[in-house]
Amino acid sequence: MNKKNFFSLLLIATLSTTTIAQVQPLAPFQPGERACFVGNSITEQGYYESYIWLYYMLHFPGRRITVYNCGIGGDRAQNMLGRLDADVFAKKPTTICMTFGMNDSGYFEYLSGNSDSTGKEKARQSKLYFDTIAQKLKAYTTAKKIMVTSPLYDETMKNPKNYFPGKSKSMEIIAAFQQEAAKTHRWGLVDFLHPMTEITLREQRRDSTFTLTSNDRIHPGNAGHFVMAWLFLKQQGLAGKPVADIEINATTSKVQRSENCILTALSVAPGNIQVDYLAGSLPFPQDTISRIWENPQRQADALKVIPFTEEMNKEMLTVKGLNNDNFLVSIDNKSIGKYTGEQLGAGINMALLNTPQVEQAMAVLWLNEERMALESKLRQYYWLQFNYLKEIGLQFNDNKVAMDSVASRSTRDWFVGSKKDNYRAARYEAVRAAWQKEMDVLVNEIYKINQPRKHTIRIVKAN
């Protein structure tokens, strides 16, 4: 991409972010919330909405909610309209989050030139179907609605693959009418497109190969999904909510601050401080595994480009009044590090250390991953129902004829073929019901083990 287009996108991203930022913050999810995230393959991948739910599991352990993945790969607004009743309303949601635009704006059409007219026509077609969606959403009065703009198509990364010049402008038009619908109907709005574009352009000025997506310029990696989760949580007004914040004054032997936690049995003696600590939340663990196929990004990579730790993952331990000797800090007799009195006076973030709390949170993360893997099997089943079996008149029949048709089509259609083996089991209602029961068991277990536990913190002068 030439410099003119680069800085044009930067200007669009900056101005649009300013406009979107004026939208009122959303209310956080409340106990019993049933939130459906409706989208395309980016939603079907499952990570951004799973990270959102994981944050709630950890930060609000007593506030049980349910998050549904209602994404289907390849979907445009037209496809989403066709499955609102069977795939979304059927779940009886209390909140519907809807995102589209990546597929609506087209792909290879831009290679033939006339990108402006192509993009405008694609956006016009998308809006025709969205207008009907909007009426159906408006009539579904039992749920709050949140418009979510698409994550970016990375038109500026240094990479020869999938370069469709002008596609980003069409996505901008689609984002604008999504924003207008939210304003008109008094719905919520979360913007992924403009902040992600702004972050991308900022980082590409340092490294031209940087991306929050992948080599296809379309699908975010784990880091991109985590940025999306952060943007959603931020719009819900959750920035500035610490895991816990402790401040002890060693000179006066008093607790100066105990935000979102309870401190008891404080004991202060020369070179030895001890306190019992019960937080109201668990920290968000840094996941260092690449979890999306053929994408090396890790969730932890996102922490280099967004202030998630500073805004949403601070479990601070501060001790004032210490001299500048070295001190050993332990939790439940487990060493978590050696610090000077000056460092403890400035505060250490326990959310970034190997503490019992982080280990407890990591168990929640892994259980949530298991839940998500089962949900992915169900989403593959629904992909076949809406993207293939519906068009041949066999939707939800799930008989031998349907199985044979899937097997036959799979020999010439990679997308169908990739879901064929899953469908062999998923077409049986009893199997799907068992998967759902397994998911329910995992969620029940999560809401047992995510309850914060009392710990004993000791700060002892090092020999």
Same domain, 124 and 199: yes
Same domain, 389 and 317: yes
Same domain, 77 and 158: yes
pLDDT score, position 359: 98
Quick check: is 292 in a domain? Answer: no
3-class secondary-structure state, position 453: coil
Return the bridge partners of 318, or none.
Answer: 247
Same domain, 61 and 176: yes
Domain boundary (195, 211, 235) is at 235
- Give the chain's domain count: 2
Quick check: is 461 in a domain? Answer: yes
Q: Characterise 260 by phi-psi region: left (phi > 0), alpha (psi -120 to 50), beta (else).
A: left
pLDDT score, position 463: 78
Please, what are the averages of pLDDT over each run of 10 residues along the chain (463 residues)?
A: 52 52 78 98 96 98 98 97 97 98 96 90 97 98 98 94 94 97 97 98 96 95 98 97 97 97 96 97 96 93 98 98 95 97 97 98 98 98 97 96 98 97 98 98 98 98 89
Same domain, 276 and 251: yes
Cα–Cα dist 217/81, whole Å: 26
Same domain, 263 and 228: no
Cα–Cα dist 180/171, whole Å: 14
pLDDT score, position 303: 97
- Tokens standing for 179? 């924003």
pLDDT score, position 294: 87
Cα–Cα dist 432/438, whole Å: 10
How far CA 276 is from CA of 222, 375, 424, 454, 461, in Å, comes to 36, 39, 54, 7, 18
Domain boundary (235, 257, 276) is at 235
Quick check: is 109 in a domain? Answer: yes
Domain boundary (235, 259, 276) is at 235
CATH number of the domain that residue 178 is part of:
3.40.50.1110
Quick check: is 96 in a domain? Answer: yes
Q: How many CA atoms lie within 13 A of 380 on its CB side?
A: 22
Question: Quick check: 327 and 459 in contact, CB under 8 A?
Answer: yes
Q: How many CA atoms lie within 13 A of 223 on its CB side?
A: 20
pLDDT score, position 137: 98
Cα-Cα-Cα-Cα dihedral sign, residues 422, 420, 396, 45: positive
Same domain, 310 and 424: yes
The whole domain housing 222 covers 3-235
How far CA 112 is from CA of 115, 117, 157, 319, in Å, comes to 8, 11, 21, 65
pLDDT score, position 20: 52
Same domain, 369 and 408: yes
Quick check: is 393 in a domain? Answer: yes
Same domain, 222 and 331: no
- Tokens standing for 328? 């050993």
Same domain, 390 and 441: yes
**Residue 104: closest CA among 199, 46, 171:** 171
Same domain, 454 and 417: yes
Same domain, 131 and 13: yes
Position 313, amino acid: N
* Helix intervals (H) in 186-330: 193-204, 222-235, 308-312
Quick check: is 291 in a domain? Answer: no
Cα–Cα dist 269/274, whole Å: 9
pLDDT score, position 11: 53
